[in-house]
Amino acid sequence: MDVIINIFILIPLLGYLLQLFLPGDRERWMSAVAVFTLGLQSVSAIVFFVYWLWNGAPTLNIKDLVLFQEIGFEFFIDFLFDKITAVYLFVGSFLTFLITVYSKAYLHREPGYKRFYNSVLLFYLGYNIVIFSGNLETMFIGWEILGVSSFLLIAFYRNRFLPVKNAVKVFTVYRIGDVGILLAMWLSHHFWSENVTFLKLSHDLLVHEHLKNHSVTGVFISLMILLTASAKSAQLPFSSWLPRAMEGPTPSSAIFYGSLSAHIGVFLLLRTFPFWEHQTSVRIVIAMVGLATAIVSASIARVQSSIKSQVAYSSISQIGIIFIEMAAGFENLALFHFAGNSFLRTYQILTSPSVVIYRLREQFYNFIPRIPTIEDALPKRIENTLYMLSLKEWNLDTLLFRMIWKPLKWMGNRLHFLNRSSVFYFFIPAYLGGLLLLYFQHQLPESLHHRLPLFFAGIGLLMVLKSFNERRSASLAFLLIIQNHFWIALAISFNESYSYSQNLWYLSGIMVAGVVGYICLYLLGKKNRHVNLLQFHGHSYRFPGYSNVFLVASLGLTGFPITPTFIGEDLIFSHIHEEQFFLALVVSLSYIVDGLACIRIYARVFLGPHARSQYDMARRSS
């Protein structure tokens, strides 16, 4: 029975790889591969589900593959199957199969027909890795795939401003969630002194013993998990991203942002429930987040003029209620609620065009006066205030911008001295000086030695902040991202003694991806003189080959699980001590912002209108 679990990962993976090599003008072949792949997955899921129940519904755990192992560190792929995975597998396989069949005709003759099915299969591969994951490291692999495929699906109409801008906006929120999961993984290594599996979390005595000795650390890990779940499931204050994700095609909006992707945060809380259920304070915070989100999102949904936005905020409100159910300890109710909400939202979004036509007819032929609501019992001033707040979506976008992105932009804009000349003539010699200090580190004063890791990591963060705000030169922004990784490797080398082969493992993916990406920008600059980041250029229209290669290089540079850098980042965090919170925060921020900077470079250079529109700036989405 254990071996069968691998099949659920291999089926979408093989379907995705086969889809890549199909010619782009063969719609029947592409739809047939996608429908067959997901149909086979759905049938296999149902058969296995029945077989699993027949055998007593046992919890299955497989330590599938050890990717890297050294003394004190082990990175392995672990798969887990229980009732939570079973429900998510059944709902996900059925709805994704339904959407692929629906999309055959819906996207007929669409220029991005192949790109859509590639993104759907990639998304479903990441979804399966997440729901079958048996530890945080395995889950993070699927988590990254979900984030990138979501970006590609939202930016499906890549020749328009709004889909591309909203795709970047959604990706930024996803990266905030990545901060939480990175810090949770880092502290979990120290909390358990190993790469702990979710199966071990179900041992109450083991969890209780560790929490008794490290209660503050346990609360912090739980809060980081909540941060990640809130960002992924669009809970407050991150609720505004889900309606923006509806810029993609209707099928992807229905299956991913109406049902599957929006409930992945719920899955994370369900999977880690045995850990945080013993922490009353965390359960209260989860319930408060869910309650606030349910009330605010419900009020926003009532004033939306777009059906997609109304369905999106209604779904967010229901997910808030699911958070409350989990905080109260009703796991099975939360699972049942997830399945019902997923099916309902998928149906609502798919039928939304028909509903619009129906309502237009109804308002002319069967006028119904407005039914009094609970708001009518409130004083008029309070009612109008609530109406205006809901109409402005409670200024959630503005709040998020002022709290997070405005400080980052402010810091990045103050780094004018970081230009091409200073990078080559000052920072490269400074880095060589750092290597010299590393060689003589045992002769340095103890006080200086302890400050150097944070100092060098801070230089790397400055590099990537400048890259995130760079507008004149895409190649300079790309070089700054590469240098950020080298500064981080140098910083952690001072932190403790370990094999330098780990740094080579980490930097090998960076060097390959960096060289490939820089060559793409150089060749593109030869044909277009100067590639800046002042606007969206849409070069994927004329240079699709460069676009695809640069996207892969950008993913490699951000630690996407296609290079050794993905494992290297986890290695780096394993050498940050438990008491070095600020160092862990600086390194995690560097990783998050460099991912944003890479996607920003890709979006501005290769996405957007390939010819200048009559509108200089993108208009705000509804």
3-state per-residue secondary structure call for 312-372: HHHHHHHHHHHHHHHHCCCHHHHHHHHHHHHHHHHHHHHCHHHHHHHHHHHHHHCCCCCCC
**Among the listed ranges 225-234, 332-341, 530-539, which one has the minimum average pLDDT value?**
530-539
Identity at 347, one-letter amino acid code: Y
| Residue that the structure tokens 């589900």 belong to | 49
pTM for the structure as a whole: 0.89
Between these two residues, 240 and 293, which has the higher pLDDT value? 293
Vertex 459: Cα angle to 453 and 465 (nearest 5): 135
Question: Which structure tokens are listed for 396?
Answer: 């959630």
Mean pLDDT of the chain: 83
What is the Cα–Cα distance from 578 to 220, expressed in whole angstroms? 12
Between these two residues, 379 and 457, which has the higher pLDDT value? 457
What is the DSSP code (8-state) at residue 469? H
Distances 250 to 242, 347, 350, 354, 602 between C-alpha atoms, Å = 14, 11, 7, 13, 24
Question: What are the contacts of 219-222 at 24+ separation with CB within 8 A?
Answer: 219/279, 219/281, 219/282, 220/183, 220/187, 221/184, 221/187, 221/188, 221/191, 221/275, 222/272, 222/275, 222/276, 222/279, 222/282
Q: Where are the alpha helices (DSSP H) in 133-214?
A: 136-154, 161-192, 198-201, 204-213
Mean pLDDT of 76-93: 88
Give the pLDDT confidence score for residue 366 in this predicted structure.
67
Asked whether the predicted pLDDT for residue 622 surpasses 60, the reply is no
Asked whether the predicted pLDDT for residue 216 surpasses 80, the reply is yes
What is the DSSP code (8-state) at residue 370? P
Give the pLDDT confidence score for residue 362 in this predicted structure.
63
> What proportion of the chain, given as a percentage, has pLDDT over 70?
94
C-beta separation of 338 from 87 below 8 A: yes
Give the pLDDT confidence score for residue 378 in this predicted structure.
76
C-beta separation of 574 from 73 below 8 A: yes
Length of the chain equals 622
What is the Cα–Cα distance from 248 to 149, expressed in whole angstroms? 12
Q: Where are the alpha helices (DSSP H) in 470-614?
A: 474-495, 501-528, 544-557, 565-574, 581-606
Give the pLDDT confidence score for residue 360 in this predicted structure.
62
What is the DSSP code (8-state) at residue 133? B
In 3D, which of 79, 94, 84 has the Cα closest to residue 1? 79
Question: Which structure tokens are listed for 522?
Answer: 């150089």
Interval 9-62: pLDDT, tens: 888 889 888 888 888 778 788 888 888 998 998 898 898 888 888 888 888 888
Q: How confident is the model at residue 616 (pLDDT cuts 50, 70, 90)?
A: very low
Interval 283-296: pLDDT, tens: 999 999 999 999 98
Give the pLDDT confidence score for residue 2 in this predicted structure.
62
Q: How confident is the model at residue 324 (pLDDT cuts 50, 70, 90)?
A: very high
3 state DSSP class of 436 = helix
What is the Cα–Cα distance from 238 to 241, expressed in whole angstroms? 6
Q: For the packed helices 113-132 and 27-54, what is the interaxial angle rounded to 10 degrees? A: 20
Give the pLDDT confidence score for residue 619 in this predicted structure.
46
3 state DSSP class of 242 = helix
| Exposed / middle / buried, residue 205 (Cβ in 10 Å: 0-12, 13-18, 19+) | exposed
Question: Which structure tokens are listed for 202?
Answer: 């179900």
Asked whether the predicted pLDDT for residue 617 surpasses 60, the reply is no
Asked whether the predicted pLDDT for residue 612 surpasses 60, the reply is no
CB-based contacts of 596: which residues, under 8 Å, 6+ apart? 171, 172, 175, 468
Interval 451-508: pLDDT, tens: 888 888 888 888 888 888 888 888 888 988 998 888 888 888 887 766 677 778 888 8
Mean pLDDT of 552-565: 85
Question: Which structure tokens are listed for 122?
Answer: 């990639």
Q: How confident is the model at residue 367 (pLDDT cuts 50, 70, 90)?
A: low
Q: How confident is the model at residue 183 (pLDDT cuts 50, 70, 90)?
A: confident
C-beta separation of 499 from 70 below 8 A: yes
In the beta sheet, which residues pair with residue 60? 81
What is the Cα–Cα distance from 244 to 163, expressed in whole angstroms? 8
Interval 390-433: pLDDT, tens: 878 788 878 877 777 778 777 777 777 777 777 777 778 888 88
Give the pLDDT confidence score for residue 613 in this predicted structure.
47
Give the pLDDT confidence score for residue 292 in this predicted structure.
92
Q: Residue 78: enclosing H or E segment and its boundaries? A: strand 73-81
What is the Cα–Cα distance from 241 to 243, expressed in whole angstroms? 6
Mean pLDDT of 167-179: 85
Give the pLDDT confidence score for residue 322 in this predicted structure.
93
3 state DSSP class of 2 = helix
CB atoms within 10 A of CB 274: 18
3 state DSSP class of 197 = strand
Structure-derived torsion over alpha carbons of residues 532, 536, 541, 542, reported in degrees to the nearest 10:
-20
Between these two residues, 215 and 355, which has the higher pLDDT value? 215
Asked whether the predicted pLDDT for residue 191 surpasses 70, the reply is yes
Question: Which structure tokens are listed for 568?
Answer: 């290297």
What is the Cα–Cα distance from 84 to 270, expressed in whole angstroms? 8
Mean pLDDT of 349-359: 70
Interval 502-553: pLDDT, tens: 778 888 888 888 899 999 988 888 887 667 888 888 888 888 888 889 999 9
| Residue that the structure tokens 């150089």 belong to | 522
Distances 78 to 53, 66, 95, 269, 317 between C-alpha atoms, Å = 22, 9, 26, 18, 33
In 3D, which of 249, 261, 61 has the Cα closest to residue 143? 261
